[in-house]
């Protein structure tokens, strides 16, 4: 069978460097036999990364994406295999990872997630659960793909782990604790030593802290590191080696260290120190790629976690929320009109 849309780059010491140097946005990469990675276009469409594993009788997809992201991925999967798509795993509850669930259900798939994803949806997707309009309704105002679909929470849930194993492939779904959110799931392929992390680990300036806890995040990443992954497929940004997990953890640890220096200062003093903190980050070659326009909001979040009060000027937190929203598909042009 010929697969014209994919490059066949297997996970060996020989091919890893080639894979990491050649990976491109919106291109399917075969990273091991019957294991695939697709880097989503976050800039243009707010899409997350996806992965999928072709089992003997079915396909397991990693992350539902936005509806438009799901619609982009489905034909790419079908160009590779005619096996049915049976499961779509949400690494967490955010829209760019879970709002496409209905599209996968229409393909015959069951949405799967850690039970914390449902708890987060009940907290934030209040329109679906009977409260006032929540994030789905807010996103639908600006994304036609969301407006034309409907929220479909995952229905197959696990507590600590879940395993798919057909004798050829073993895929383990893990939960190691709070990180980017309170329901972050990891996908571990022990034979291939590949780890799909969702947004608990990204590879670039895509960290969003508002729904997580940075102190717990460090511990969660430490637990994930014990798996000994050789390949990291992050929630956003390019595929990388196991060092990406180390770098993600180092960024959060350095952020906490920097903010700790100002933990007893007044909010306005911490806010005024953001540029200095940013300069320090940019001198650190290991983690400078994680520094983006949302650093002020990230500093504020950690400062509040450490007992401080929100900045007197709410702009930093607002900017961080809008930066995340923009990165996940909302038009910034709407900002001044709301």
No. of H helices and E strands in the chain? 14, 14
Give the model confidence (pLDDT) of 203-250 as tens digits. Answer: 999 999 999 999 999 999 999 999 999 999 999 999 999 999 999 999
Give the model confidence (pLDDT) of 152-205 as tens digits. Answer: 999 999 999 999 999 999 999 999 999 999 999 999 999 999 999 999 999 999
Q: Is 4 exposed, middle or buried (0-12, 13-18, 19+ CB in 10 A)?
A: exposed
The reported pLDDT for the residue numbered 184 is 98
Average pLDDT over residues 269-282: 94
* Residue 88: CA count within 13 A, CB half-sphere: 33
- State in Å, rounded, how far the first CA of the chain is from the last one: 52
Per DSSP, 39 falls in state: B
> Model confidence at 330, in pLDDT bands (50, 70, 90)?
very low
Per DSSP, 25 falls in state: B
Give the model confidence (pLDDT) of 103-124 as tens digits. Answer: 999 999 999 999 999 999 999 9
Q: Which residues are bridge partners to 53 per DSSP? A: 35, 60
Does the pLDDT value for residue 19 go beyond 80?
A: no
Does the pLDDT value for residue 8 go beyond 90?
A: no
State the Cα–Cα distance between residues 37 and 239, nearest whole angstrom.
Answer: 8
State the Cα–Cα distance between residues 279 and 285, nearest whole angstrom.
Answer: 12
- How many C-beta atoms surround the C-beta of residue 5 within 10 A? 10
The reported pLDDT for the residue numbered 319 is 54
CB-based burial, 248-268: b 16+ in 10 Å, e otherwise: bbbbbbbbbebbeebeeeebe
Quick one: fold of 6-242? Metallo-beta-lactamase; Chain A (3.60.15)
Average pLDDT over residues 77-92: 98
Domain range summary for the chain, segments of one domain joined by +: 6-242, 253-337
Per DSSP, 334 falls in state: G
Does the pLDDT value for residue 280 go beyond 90?
A: yes
Name the one residue in this structure whose structure tokens are 């799909």. Answer: 196
Tokens found for residue 298: 């990230």
Share of the chain above pLDDT 90, in %: 84
pTM of the complete model beyond 0.75: yes
């Amino acid at each position: 069978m010929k697969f014209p849309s994919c490059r066949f780059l297997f996970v060996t010491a020989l091919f890893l460097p080639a894979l990491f140097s050649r990976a491109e946005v919106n291109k399917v990469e075969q990273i091991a036999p019957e294991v695939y990675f697709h880097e989503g276009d976050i800039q243009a469409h707010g899409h997350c990364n996806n992965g999928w594993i072709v089992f003997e009788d079915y396909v397991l997809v990693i992350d539902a994406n936005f509806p438009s992201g799901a619609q982009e991925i489905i034909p790419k999967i079908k160009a590779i295999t005619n096996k049915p798509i049976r499961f779509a795993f949400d690494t967490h509850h955010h829209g760019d990872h879970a709002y496409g669930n209905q599209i996968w259900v229409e393909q015959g798939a069951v949405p799967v997630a850690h039970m914390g994803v449902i708890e987060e949806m009940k907290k934030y997707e209040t329109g679906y659960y009977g409260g006032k309009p929540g994030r789905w309704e807010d996103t639908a105002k600006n994304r036609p793909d969301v407006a034309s679909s409907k929220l479909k929470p995952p229905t197959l849930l696990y507590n600590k782990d879940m395993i798919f194993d057909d004798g050829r492939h073993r895929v383990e779904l893990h939960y190691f604790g709070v990180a980017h959110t309170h329901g972050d799931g990891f996908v571990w392929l022990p034979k291939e030593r590949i780890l799909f992390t969702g947004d608990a680990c990204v590879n670039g300036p895509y960290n969003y802290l508002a729904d997580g806890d940075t102190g717990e995040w460090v511990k969660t990443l430490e637990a994930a590191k014990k798996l000994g992954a050789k390949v990291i497929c992050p929630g956003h940004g390019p595929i990388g080696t196991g060092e990406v997990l180390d770098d993600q953890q180092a960024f959060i640890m350095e952020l906490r260290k920097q903010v700790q220096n100002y933990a007893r200062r007044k909010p306005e003093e911490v806010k005024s120190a953001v540029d200095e903190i940013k300069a320090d980050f940019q001198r650190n070659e290991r983690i400078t790629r994680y520094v983006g326009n949302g650093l002020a909001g990230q500093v504020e979040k950690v400062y509040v976690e450490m007992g401080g009060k929100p900045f007197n000027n709410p702009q930093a937190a607002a900017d961080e929320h809008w930066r995340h929203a923009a990165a996940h598909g909302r038009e910034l042009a709407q900002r001044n009109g709301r």
